[in-house]
């Protein structure tokens, strides 16, 4: 099945810093989503971005489908950005509707 | 945005009993819902795909007789953990696929089996 790799696995930032999270995937996809899992376990939808670039406030994401990677940018980080960020994809050729998750990036923003 | 609810949010049960978890899409209809399991500090692992009006499709290694899934309507899927044992303790999360193919996740159910 499709492989999803996220980097870095852990990241510690000072409040106000910027960061870039990366997601590499091994096959063509028709769905790619970025999520933030908060300390209570809730997965918050950040972006639905199988291709192209989107921005939402301090967050933006870019997916280059032909090169099989996606980037999530966090600018001016805040302590509330702490948590785990997951990239999840759905491969084109399998007929499988479920998302395959990467292992996540654990972000800690310190005041 | 689309909202998915889960009930209960946490449950403690004794070994050998059964527990039912409900997953509802509140403001959209979902032909397809999914059930995931997450262990501490790990990623989400798909357990099964639930299709309205038909049998669920289980991932390899997931016991379908132990984890019963019913998707009786376009807004409700249930997961029943039968004869629960301590190793079934985990965080169970459901998701629903919208008409635009984006998936939305419920808040999760933390199951502890004593």
Non-local (6+) Cβ contacts of A99 within 8 A are: A31, A33, A88, A89, A90, B34, B46, B95, B103
| Cβ atoms B103, B97 nearer than 8 A | yes
pLDDT tens digits for range A26-79 = 999 999 999 999 989 999 999 999 999 999 999 999 999 999 999 999 999 999
Chain B hits for A31, Cβ within 8 Å: 101-103
Cβ–Cβ under 8 Å, residues B112 and B12: yes
Q: Apex CA B10: angle with CA B4 and CA B11, to 5°?
A: 130
Q: Give the B window 45-74 contacts with A, CB below 8 Å.
A: 45-46, 49
**Cα(A62)–Cα(A52) distance, rounded to whole angstroms?**
6
Q: Cα-flanking dihedrals φ and ψ of residue A26, to 5°?
A: -95, -10
B3-36 confidence digits (pLDDT tens): 999 999 999 999 999 999 999 999 999 989 999 9
Task: Compute the nearest-CA separation of B97 from chain A (Å).
Answer: 9
């Amino acid at each position: 099945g499709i492989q999803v790799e996220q980097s870095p696995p852990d990241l510690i930032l000072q409040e106000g810093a910027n960061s870039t999270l990366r997601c590499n995937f091994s096959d063509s996809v028709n769905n790619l989503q970025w999520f933030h899992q908060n300390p209570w376990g809730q997965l918050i939808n950040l972006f639905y971005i199988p291709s192209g670039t989107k921005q939402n406030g301090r967050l933006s994401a870019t997916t280059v489908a032909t090169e099989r990677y996606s980037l999530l940018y966090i600018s001016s980080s805040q302590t509330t950005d702490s948590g785990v960020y997951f990239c999840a994809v759905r491969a084109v050729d399998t007929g499988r509707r479920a998302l395959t998750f990467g292992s996540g990036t654990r972000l800690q923003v310190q005041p | 945005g689309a909202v998915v609810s889960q009930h209960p949010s946490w449950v403690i049960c004794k070994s050998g009993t059964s527990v039912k978890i409900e997953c509802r899409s509140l403001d959209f209809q979902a032909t397809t819902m999914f059930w995931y399991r997450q262990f501490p500090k790990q990623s989400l692992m798909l357990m099964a795909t639930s299709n309205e009006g038909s049998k669920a499709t289980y991932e390899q290694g997931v016991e379908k007789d132990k984890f019963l899934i019913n998707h009786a309507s376009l807004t409700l899927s249930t997961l029943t953990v039968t004869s629960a044992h301590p190793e079934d303790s985990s965080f169970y999360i459901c998701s629903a696929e919208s008409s635009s193919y984006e998936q939305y996740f419920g808040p999760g159910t933390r199951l502890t089996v004593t």
